[in-house]
Amino acid sequence: MMRLALILLFGLSVFAGAAPGEPGPFDVETVDGAVFRNAQVRRIEPDGLTLSHDGGLAKVPFSRLPENLRRKYEYDPEEAERYRHTRLLEDRKAERDRKALQEQTRADGKRRLAKVPLRVFNIRTDRPEERRYRIRFSARNYTGHPRTLRAEPHAKHRLRGGRTFTIPAHGSRPDLEIVAYPDPPVWLIISSGDHAERHLLHW
């Protein structure tokens, strides 16, 4: 009976010393009261530690970490400031490089468009009636003079329903339409002078 009482007393004292919600031996509590449960150090940098914990991954600056961790990882405020300054310069350079690449990509795209006199886009298909296959599309003319556009529906052979349209200089037409028959076309073939396009159709 005495032995059972001692065991119960010991168990209660251990439980009272490790109350739920308090930091455990593998937890990290910051100076501002945040707790990272089951933390493990994944990366050490002059200005802080990257920790994996129950909530994911976080970088915690040494300025928020307790003194024992600062000493353990030899935190030097001056070195940390130099490191942050270097990282800031690197980040700014990376952002400038990213913007320069975007500008170059846009410029390349404009040059490619300048070489294309005409483009067909926004192609839609439907079946208004039996064995009639309607193709609606838009076209844009990038040149300084009107261009004639020929639209032909094709399957294994050219189908009926092709039409010719005129696209104004530096303009577009959103309302172009042809109706193919008697079979469903597979391709819409566009020709305008020496320019040609082929678009796969979906029904």
pLDDT tens per residue across span 95-154:
988 888 888 888 766 666 557 899 999 999 999 888 899 999 999 999 999 999 999 999
Do residues 142 and 149 touch, judged by C-beta distance below 8 A?
A: no
**Which has more confidence, 187 or 159?**
187
Class of domain 22-75: mainly beta
Question: Average pLDDT of the chain?
Answer: 84
Query: pLDDT tens digit string along 77-106?
Result: 999 999 999 999 999 988 988 888 888 888
Band (pLDDT 50/70/90 cuts) for residue 203 is: confident
pTM of the model: 0.45
Question: Which residues is 59 bridged to in the sheet?
Answer: 50
Tokens of 62: 């040494």
Please choose, from the candidates 93, 34, 86, the residue with its C-alpha nearest in 3D space to the C-alpha of residue 61. 34
Distances (CA, A) of 3 to 7, 101, 191: 6, 77, 99
Distances (CA, A) of 20 to 14, 15, 94: 12, 9, 46
Q: What is the pLDDT of residue 110?
A: 65
Q: What is the pLDDT of residue 58?
A: 94
Band (pLDDT 50/70/90 cuts) for residue 160 is: confident
Do residues 188 and 135 touch, judged by C-beta distance below 8 A?
A: yes
Do residues 117 and 141 touch, judged by C-beta distance below 8 A?
A: yes
Tokens of 162: 């092709």
Which burial class, exposed, middle or buried, applies to 185 when counting CB atoms under 10 A from its CB (0-12, 13-18, 19+)? buried
Q: What is the pLDDT of residue 106?
A: 80
**Which has more confidence, 96 or 167?**
167
Class of domain 117-200: mainly beta
Q: What is the pLDDT of residue 112?
A: 60
